[in-house]
Structure formats: structure tokens, C-alpha cells
A and B are shown apart, each in its own frame.
Chain A
Amino acid sequence: MVTIENLNKFYEIDGQKQYVLNDIKLNIQKGECVILKGVSGSGKTTLLSIIAGLDKPSSGKVLVNGEPISKLPDMHLSAFRAEKIGIVFQNFNLLDGVSLLDNAIVPLVAAKVGLKEAKQKALNALKVANIEHKANKTPSELSGGEKQRGAIARALVANPNLILCDEPTANLDIANSLSFIQTLKELHHMGKTIIVATHDSLFEELDFKHRVVEISQGLLVDS
């Protein structure tokens, strides 16, 4: 599902290469749930961004679903992102002033799905994320946990097979965090490939099959 070989990402600072990701090699099978663990600043977000095609690697090979994601032209890459990848952001990133239902439609607009079908799919996604009762509320009217579920609905709406979550519980209380893990379990049982970047210890004892990958100062460490 995701194949990463010899991935490097560095920033040129004062003529010096500062490596954020260093020779990463990672293979994720379809249906796997991978917990990408590491302290703040270790490079988790950078790695997720590159997998999602939101950032470009300095060198190396990244294949997602067999596609060389960093080499696709924008039109192709965007369509791929709209249909094949769902992202749950740390700070939710919902559009302000737009209801959860309409927020959930946004990826489908890019995927050129008709309005009627898009609304139906968005409503279904809100059901799966357990937030359909707040479908007409805008983000400012919702709690952190509710926003999170809205963001999950948006990530699921196009029925992608790869789901990326960046620090999904960082802005949640313990109850909401546990409920998120419950949702994650359901997604895992639906056969989704999942990558969660987190430094939350709650993810260390999941009650379903998963793999923990640790990243430290841009290097993958075996655990």
C-alpha cells in the first residue's frame, strides 16, 4: 500500500543540510494499522505530508497504491488525494462558517461527485463518525471532540483506502481520545490502511492488531 525507500528530507539552513528525515525505509501492507510514534519535532508530520503528497521529498522513492506520489502532476495528485487518501488533521482544519455536512462534501466537490450523491455520502460518513446529529452545526458551535468527528467524516467521505491521522488526540480529553480509538478500530475492521502519527501513550496498548514504528530525529528505530 505504502512503499518508502531511501527517503530523505532536508532543509538547507545557512548552507548546511538539516535532515528532518534520514534514509527512511518503510513498507505498509494493505489493511495495516501503523502507529508512528515519536517525540515532538522528530519528523512525524513531515513523513505524513510526504505520504499524502502535501510535501515533496528531497530524495528517495515513495509509492502509494503503486503511484509515485511525489512525481505526479498536480491535477493527477489532487484527484488521487481526493479519492484515495483521507486525512485527519491535528487541529481538525474544518472550514469556518460551513456546516459539518458541507465540510464533509468538500473532497467530493474536487472528485466531481454530483450534489445529491455528495450529500448522501456526506451524511453516511457523518453517521460512521457518529456525528450525524450535528450535521448542520458549524465548527464554532462544536466542541473539540465533535469537530474531530466531523474531520473524520470528511476523511472518510470519498471512501479512501488510506487514512492518515496527525496527532488525532492532541486536542481531545481522555474520553474523546478513547472514543477516537474506538472509531479507529472500526475503520481497521473495515479494512482501511491506517497511519497514525502520535506521541500519545494511549496508542501503546490498542486492543486490535497494529504495528508501532518509532521515529527519532528523522531516523526510524526498531521497536
Chain B
Amino acid sequence: MRNNSFFYFLTLNLLKEKRRFVGIVLISTLLIFLLSSVLFISSSIKTTLNSSLKAQPDFIVQNIKAGKVAPIKAEQVDKIVNIYGVNKVTKRVYGRYFFDDKYSALIVGVDFLDEQSSKKLVKIMNSVDLKSFLSKDNMLVGQGVLSYLKSHYYATNYNFLTPSGQMQKVNIFKALNAKSSLISNDMIIMPLELAQKVLGLKESELTDIALNVPNDSEWSNIKAKLESLNFSTRVVSKKDMKKAYENLFNYKGGLFLVLYLIVIATFSLLLYLRYSLASSLERKEIAILRAVGWSIKDVLELKFLENIFLVIFAFVLGSSLAYIYVFILGAPILKDIFLGGANLKQFATFTPVVDYSVLSTIFIVFAVAFLGSVLIPVWKIAVTEPKEAL
């Protein structure tokens, strides 16, 4: 065990070398900052996507008309319900409503009398008096919608313009907090029939039909059955959605490659700097220490502790700055690299997610390479006879 005089000397050495180390610590911090930022952003995106995928149904059945997604007949639901192995068949009516060219909200129609649909909304509905909600044309709005309507129109109601050119007045029944993952800031929930009117659907029409297939091995079988319902039926599976999400990121691969190259180049530069510092400037210091009685082990231990301190300092500083940059400041600049033009509403801010296993991998790789670049030359110097001190 080391005594206090050893640690005194270690501190002394760190303080004495601070000018020498400032550049190395700065580059290290920057490097860790960059790597951790990329890590924080990608794990946050991954988690958000996964949770939004989780909320998705296994299959969505759409109707294709003239090559475009068109409303689907509600009667299809009866046929789908009869397919063996299918459950949670849900009528879905939704669409984006553009208030002006800057602001839009997602209108979601809910069949409040259908147990299946309203089950998901149980948490929200607990705070809503369903009877009075359904007695008039009412809607529940997210906080973002409320503040938009408040500042541009009224806080009590809004006149939607339907595709057929009519006005549809809907009262704001209540604003909902975006705490539930099902409700976003820019979401409007209204009864199914009302949503149909606002979105210009007939009573017999739905946007699409969602359903689940609890048994994974039935997926392809049921997909085929769904597709054979009607020649114009299109079936989107959760797997397809997942692939689409993944593609969204992979096509940015080139930029990531550049980023990684920058990181690797900086890291090599850092290791080179550290290596040459250890093999030149520290050579005399080590020879002196050895000459006045320090063993090889003493020298290696001093240098190890000295540099592990630098590594930890740079790592803590770099990753904390990255945390602030990504999760508090919303990662300006880097965000554009990641998401590019893809205007994904769910990434207005990044949900704080820290992937500790990747973070510790970064730490270990950084620490091992950094310490290696110091301890190898130090060891080489320390084991040679320290006669050059004389």
C-alpha cells in the first residue's frame, strides 16, 4: 500500500505538469465529448423508436386506390375479426390537420364505446367524465395544441375546415399532459365519428384497421390471409415499420463514417502526443527518480495513477458536457447530422437515455489505449539502466 508521501508526490507531479497536460486533457475531453454525444443521441433515438414501435399494432390493413393509400371500408373489420388467431382489431381514424403552414396536429378518432380502443385510454379517461364528453362535439388536446389555439384562436373551441369546405366546430373539453407515451404534445383526440367528419371520411370509412397476432409463428400465414381479403388491400407489419425506421438512419451512414474517422484521427494524434511526451520529456524525470531510489514498480505506479487521473478527469468532464449538450441543449448541429431533413416529431427533444454498457466500453477503450501509450514508453525507459542520470 502507498503512504501519504507517495500521494503527496503524485499530486505535486500533477500540479507541476499541468501546463504539459493541458493540451492532452483538452483533446481527450473533446474526444470523449464527441463520442458520448453520438452515443447519447443514438441510444435516445433507439429507445424512443423502440417504445413507439412497441405501441404499434402487429399489422395495419390499408386500402390502396390508384396507387395511393385511401380510406378503407369499415365492413372489412367484420371479416378480419373472423380470421382465426387475430385479436385487438381496431378501427382507426386519424390524420394530420394543418392549422397553417407552420403548425399541424395529429387528429386521432377513438371509438369510446368500443372496449378495445378505449382500454388504451383508460388512464386518460379516468380524469374525463365520459358522459359529458360524448354529449357534445368535444375534443381532448395536447399541451402544444392548446397553447397554439390559445394564442391564435380561442381557448374554448376551434372551427375545423373539412375537405368538403364545411366548418366543424369542436369544443376543447380538456388539455392533456404529454406524460403518457400515447399522448403527444401535438395530438387531438375526438370521438371517431367526429374525427371522420373533420378528416372528410364517410361514416363507413376508416383510415386503416389495426390488429394484433399474439402468436408470432402465425404472422406470415395471417398476413397472406389479410392480403387476400381484397385485391386492393395493403398490409403493413410491425417488422416492415421497423425496417423503415432503420433505413432512416442507415442512409446517413456516410456522415457517421466521417465522424468516426475524425474520432479515430484525433485519438491517434492524442496517443502520439502522449507517447512522445512520455518518451522525451519524461525520460529525464524517470532517470532521476530511478537514480535516487525509485524502483521500476514505483515509477510505473506513479505514471499509472497520474494518467488514470487524467483519463478519469477527461472522461467525467467530456461525458458530463455531452449529457448537457444532448439532453439539456438538444444537441444543436449534431442533431441535424443524425436526423437530417427527417422531421420526426418525437425527437423535438431527446429523452435522456444513458447506455452504460457502451459508455463503459468507451471508457475502457480510451483508458487502455491512453494508459498504454504512456506506460509502454515509461516502462521501456524505466527498465533500462538509469545511468544517463549521471
Q: Is the CB of A93 within 8 A of B293?
A: no
Bound CA span A52–B296, Å: 16
Q: Is the CB of B5 within 8 A of A107?
A: no
Q: Is the CB of B293 within 8 A of A115?
A: no
Mask of A158-174 contacts with B, CB within 8 angstroms, 1/0: 10000000100000000
Q: Is the CB of B9 within 8 A of A74?
A: no
Q: Decide yes or no whether B35 CB sits under 8 A from chain A.
A: no
Mask of B1-35 contacts with A, CB within 8 angstroms, 1/0: 00111101100100011000000000000000000
Q: How large is the interface on B (under 10, 10 to 19, 20 to 34, 35 or more residues)?
A: 20 to 34
- Cβ 8 A contact of B295, one of A78, A93, A102: A78
Q: Is the CB of A105 within 8 A of B386?
A: no
Q: Decide yes or no whether B285 CB sits under 8 A from chain A.
A: yes
Q: For A113, give the chain B residue with the smallest CB separation.
A: B5
Q: Is the CB of A95 within 8 A of B291?
A: no
Bound CA span A77–B122, Å: 78
Q: Is the CB of B296 within 8 A of A74?
A: yes
Q: Decide yes or no whether B289 CB sits under 8 A from chain A.
A: yes
Q: Is the CB of B293 within 8 A of A83?
A: yes
Bound CA span A114–B8, Å: 10
Q: Is the CB of B295 within 8 A of A75?
A: yes
Given contacts A54-B386, A54-B387, A75-B295, contact A114 B3 (CB under 8 A): yes
Q: Which 6 A-B pairs have the closest CB atoms?
A: A82-B293, A78-B295, A97-B16, A55-B387, A110-B293, A115-B5
Tell me how far the C-beta of A140 lies from the nearest C-beta in chain B, rounded to whole angstroms.
12
- Cβ 8 A contact of A49, one of B9, B12, B296, B387: B387
Given contacts A110-B292, A110-B295, contact A48 B12 (CB under 8 A): no
- Cβ 8 A contact of A89, one of B6, B17, B290, B291: B291
Q: Which positions 23-67 of chain A face chain B at CB distance < 8 Å? A: 45-46, 48-49, 52, 54-56
Q: Is the CB of A118 within 8 A of B12?
A: no
Q: Decide yes or no whether A149 CB sits under 8 A from chain B.
A: no
Q: Is the CB of B4 within 8 A of A106?
A: no
Bound CA span A79–B287, Å: 15
- Cβ 8 A contact of A114, one of B5, B12, B387: B5
Residue contacts A-B, CB under 8 angstroms, 22 given: A46-B387, A49-B390, A52-B291, A78-B294, A78-B298, A81-B291, A83-B293, A87-B291, A89-B389, A90-B390, A93-B284, A95-B288, A98-B16, A102-B12, A109-B8, A109-B294, A110-B295, A112-B6, A114-B4, A114-B5, A115-B3, A118-B5
Given contacts A54-B386, A54-B387, A97-B16, contact A81 B293 (CB under 8 A): yes
Q: How many A-B residue pairs have CB under 8 A?
A: 104
Given contacts A114-B5, A115-B3, A118-B5, contact A166 B292 (CB under 8 A): no
Bound CA span A52–B297, Å: 19
Bound CA span A191–B5, Å: 29
Q: Is the CB of A95 within 8 A of B293?
A: no
- Cβ 8 A contact of B292, one of A48, A75, A81, A96: A81
Q: Is the CB of A78 within 8 A of B293?
A: yes
> SS class of chain A's interface: helix, strand, loop or mixed?
helix
Tell me how far the C-beta of B213 lies from the nearest C-beta in chain A, rounded to whole angstroms.
70
Q: How large is the interface on A (under 10, 10 to 19, 20 to 34, 35 or more residues)?
A: 35 or more
Q: Is the CB of A45 within 8 A of B298?
A: no
Q: Is the CB of A110 within 8 A of B291?
A: no
Bound CA span A221–B111, Å: 113
Query: Which residues on the B side are within 8 Å of A85 (C-beta)?
Result: 293
Query: Which residues on the B side are within 8 Å of A56 (C-beta)?
Result: 385
Q: Is the CB of A93 within 8 A of B387?
A: no
Q: Decide yes or no whether A135 CB sits under 8 A from chain B.
A: no
Query: Which residues on the B side are within 8 Å of A77 (C-beta)?
Result: 295
Query: Which residues on the B side are within 8 Å of A46 (C-beta)?
Result: 387
Q: For B7, give the chain A residue with the smallest CB separation.
A: A115
Q: For B297, give the chain A residue with the smallest CB separation.
A: A75
Query: Which residues on the B side are within 8 Å of A166 (C-beta)?
Result: 390
Query: Which residues on the A side are within 8 Å of B290 (C-beta)?
Result: 54, 78
Query: Which residues on the A side are within 8 Å of B5 (C-beta)?
Result: 105, 108-109, 112-115, 118
Bound CA span A95–B17, Å: 11
Q: Decide yes or no whether A111 CB sits under 8 A from chain B.
A: yes
Tell me how far the C-beta of B133 lies from the nearest C-beta in chain A, rounded to whole angstroms.
75
- Cβ 8 A contact of B6, one of A49, A74, A81, A109: A109
Tell me how far the C-beta of B306 lies from the nearest C-beta in chain A, rounded to whole angstroms.
14
Query: Which residues on the B side are within 8 Å of A89 (C-beta)?
Result: 291, 389-390
Query: Which residues on the A side are within 8 Å of B390 (C-beta)?
Result: 45, 48-49, 52, 54, 87, 89-90, 166
Q: Decide yes or no whether A154 CB sits under 8 A from chain B.
A: yes
Tell me how far the C-beta of A130 lies from the nearest C-beta in chain B, rounded to whole angstroms.
20
For the complex with contacts A81-B293, A110-B298, A154-B292, 16 further pairs of A-B residues with Cβ separation under 8 Å are: A55-B385, A75-B297, A78-B296, A81-B291, A85-B293, A89-B291, A93-B291, A95-B16, A96-B16, A97-B17, A109-B8, A110-B292, A111-B293, A112-B5, A115-B3, A115-B5
Q: Which positions 264-320 of chain B face chain A at CB distance < 8 Å? A: 284-285, 287-298
Q: Which positions 343-390 of chain B face chain A at CB distance < 8 Å? A: 385-387, 389-390
Bound CA span A45–B4, Å: 35
Query: Which residues on the A side are within 8 Å of B17 (C-beta)?
Result: 97
Q: For A55, give the chain B residue with the smallest CB separation.
A: B387
Q: Is the CB of B9 within 8 A of A105?
A: yes
